């Protein structure tokens, strides 16, 4: 450990001296590229924390004369980061009042507890919650529910097996006593009254282990898939939004909450169905009568699982005033996001405010709802204390002294503790890199080097790059992956005259396809920590999941994505940016 730290410090100091030495030698493009390469190495190797690496541009871009301190620092809390922060504050309020758990349990009770339906239910709930709150928080909440259901099913099956064995032992002893009268040599068939193990028991254990693997893997996979459906669902989506605004400031807000949802939500549904089908085949099997249980009664295991879910719902009690308020704020935010600029009609930003389409972005409603969460009370206002003479005589002095308004729905200490500030800095560092790359001329230089790629069909370029990103993101942070590659792909698109989103959209989604390794993403690590799966199990399933993901993204970008974003044409806003 000390040796590793000493090595890290040496590498950092050496690279800093190299920065100072090349500052007077290299061109602007080379200086910018040098800093990007250093940050890429640090992000991949995690020599220092990812968030700390993200602060490097604040120091070294001004020192090397690439960008001014003022220009660099503005990127760390821009419009896109404010959208991310506002969305996360709403997500924290949902977690704080356990609204996500209530939604999850209710949906699972509705869908049922047959094996296939139970897995599908876990995946639907996890994916839906991951659309709005962090993938890590969703997985951390869902896996204990899955574990409790599996444990109860296992215990019920064990009790039934013991009862069957006890009945079988009694019958066997009676038969042996009858045979003993005629054949004394048969007594040695049993020892101490024990019956040989049922050969089916080992097969049942293997089946039970496979089901446990499938049920737990489906949660982390669904969390990663669900996060792709909304603009604030996961970090790479926000990176794309920020990079588009940074590299193409006149893009007419082509990537907003509504347009992203229209493209990514159908893709998420398709991926979720194919992922469920793959996990069903791999771990449960395709026995439809057994898995779906059409026309059959619930078994004892299924009744036990249903009872666990009902008990968890009962623990939550009736919906509270705070939960209702949080749900109301959540719905309000989603409605404001969708109706701000729907595309087919004028949104509220245009109708209610002059030049609203220019001044109002998705960050405004996000922060507005976040502010309301710090104002609205968590409990019903107290009206009885206004007039002491007409109040209830049985009311205690403590009740009278209670304030009219209770504490708000959200407290800043909670937000400060749960907010992933490292991701905010990571996003800011990425935006600073994109800004420096565009203004130093590095993007234009990279684009010029990629002109020979113009002979390759665009769909082939997008597919190959998506596969590369899906593999690369297994080893590095998905946000860091998107941050490093999106500016390069943007330059490539401009050089070969294809729509930037034709390449940037599939690669952004592919950055979330970290399915193969426990270290690839926090949801995978959480599931792996429960001990049901091995690394090899995750690798085998993850390879197919990556193929499914790239296939779905390629299909989406060449069908409905093509018409939504007009990907067949090279837009004027991209052309003007490329010519600058």
Query: pLDDT tens digits for 16-57?
Result: 555 545 544 468 888 888 998 998 888 878 888 888 999 999
Neighbours of 450 (CB within 10 A): 17
In a domain, 188, yes or no: no
Three-state SS at 377: strand
**Tens digit of pLDDT for each residue in 242-262?**
999 888 888 888 998 889 999
Please give the mean pLDDT across all residues of the chain: 81
CB under 8 Å to 183, separation ≥6 — which residues? none
The answer to whether 455 and 499 have CB atoms below 8 angstroms apart is no
| Residues 70, 82: Cα–Cα separation, whole Å | 18
- Residue 502 tokens read as 């034709």
In a domain, 224, yes or no: yes
Block residue for tokens 């206002």: 381
What's residue 181's pLDDT?
52
pLDDT over 50 (residue 188): no
Question: What is the extent of the structural domain holding 264?
Answer: 1-156+209-381+404-574
| Residues 577, 580: Cα–Cα separation, whole Å | 5
In a domain, 322, yes or no: yes
Number of domains in the chain: 1
In a domain, 360, yes or no: yes
Which band of pLDDT confidence, cut at 50, 70 and 90, is reported for residue 559?
very high
How many CA atoms within 13 Å lie on the side-chain side of 247? Answer: 34
The predicted model gives 228-254 an average pLDDT of 89
- Tell me the pTM: 0.77
pLDDT over 60 (residue 199): no
| Residues 376, 139: Cα–Cα separation, whole Å | 29
Sequence-distant contacts of 303-307: CB under 8 A, at least 24 apart: 303/156, 304/152, 304/153, 304/155, 304/156, 305/113, 305/118, 305/149, 305/152, 305/153, 306/109, 306/113, 307/152
The answer to whether 452 and 263 have CB atoms below 8 angstroms apart is no
456: nearest Cα among 482, 492, 481, 490: 492
In a domain, 165, yes or no: no
In a domain, 456, yes or no: yes
Q: How far is CA 173 from the centre of its chain?
A: 57
In a domain, 275, yes or no: yes
Three-state SS at 375: coil
């Amino acid at each position: 450990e000390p040796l590793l730290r000493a090595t890290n410090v040496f590498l950092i100091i050496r690279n800093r001296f190299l920065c100072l030495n090349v500052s007077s030698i290299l061109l602007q493009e080379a200086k910018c590229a040098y800093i990007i390469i250093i940050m890429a190495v640090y992000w991949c190797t995690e020599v220092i924390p990812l968030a700390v690496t993200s602060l490097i541009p604040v120091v070294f871009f001004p020192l090397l004369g690439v960008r001014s301190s003022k220009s660099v620092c503005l990127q760390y809390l821009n419009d896109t980061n404010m959208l991310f922060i506002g969305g996360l504050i709403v997500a924290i309020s949902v977690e704080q009042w356990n609204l996500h758990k209530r939604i999850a349990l209710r949906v699972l009770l509705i869908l049922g507890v047959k094996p296939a339906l139970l897995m599908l239910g876990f995946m639907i709930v996890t994916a839906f919650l991951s659309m709005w709150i962090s993938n890590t928080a969703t997985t951390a909440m869902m896996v204990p529910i899955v574990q409790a259901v599996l444990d109860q099913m296992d215990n019920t099956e064990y009790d039934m097996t013991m009862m069957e064995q006890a009945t079988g032992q009694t019958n066997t002893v009676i038969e042996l006593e009858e045979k003993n009268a005629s054949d004394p040599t048969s007594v040695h068939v049993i020892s101490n009254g024990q019956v040989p193990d049922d050969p089916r028991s080992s097969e049942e254990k293997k089946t039970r282990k496979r089901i446990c693997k499938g049920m737990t893997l489906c949660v982390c996979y669904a969390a990663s898939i669900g996060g792709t459906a909304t603009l604030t669902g996961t970090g790479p989506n926000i990176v794309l939004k920020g990079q588009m605004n940074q590299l193409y400031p006149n893009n007419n807000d082509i990537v907003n909450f509504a347009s992203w949802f229209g493209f990514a939500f159908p893709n998420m549904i398709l991926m979720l169905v194919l992922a469920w089908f793959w996990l069903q085949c791999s771990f449960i099997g395709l026995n439809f009568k057994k898995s779906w249980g059409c026309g059959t009664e619930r078994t004892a295991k299924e009744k036990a699982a249903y009872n666990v879910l009902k008990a968890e719902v009962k623990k939550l009690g009736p919906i509270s005033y705070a939960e209702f308020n949080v749900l109301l704020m959540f719905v309000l935010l989603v409605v404001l996001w969708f109706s701000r600029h729907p595309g087919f009609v004028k949104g509220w930003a245009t109708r209610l405010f002059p030049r609203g389409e220019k001044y109002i972005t998705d960050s405004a409603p996000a922060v507005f709802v976040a502010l309301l969460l710090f104002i609205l009370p968590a409990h019903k206002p107290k009206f009885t204390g206004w007039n002491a003479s007409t109040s209830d005589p049985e009311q205690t002095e403590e009740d009278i002294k209670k304030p009219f308004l209770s504490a708000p729905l959200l407290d800043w200490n909670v937000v400060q503790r749960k907010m992933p500030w490292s991701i905010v800095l990571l996003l800011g560092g990425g935006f600073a890199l994109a800004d420096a790359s565009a203004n130093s001329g590095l993007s234009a230089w990279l684009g010029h080097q990629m002109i020979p790629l113009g002979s390759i069909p665009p769909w082939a370029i997008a597919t190959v790059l998506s596969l590369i990103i899906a593999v690369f993101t297994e080893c590095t942070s998905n946000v860091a992956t998107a941050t490093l590659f999106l500016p390069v792909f943007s330059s490539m698109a401009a050089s070969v005259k294809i729509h930037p989103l034709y390449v940037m959209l599939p690669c952004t989604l592919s950055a979330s396809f970290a399915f193969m390794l426990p270290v690839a993403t926090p949801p995978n690590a959480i599931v792996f920590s429960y001990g049901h799966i091995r690394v090899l199990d995750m690798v085998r399933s993850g390879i197919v999941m990556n193929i499914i993901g790239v296939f779905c993204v390629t299909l989406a970008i060449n069908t409905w994505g093509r018409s939504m974003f007009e990907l067949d044409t090279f837009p004027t806003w991209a052309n003007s940016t490329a010519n600058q």
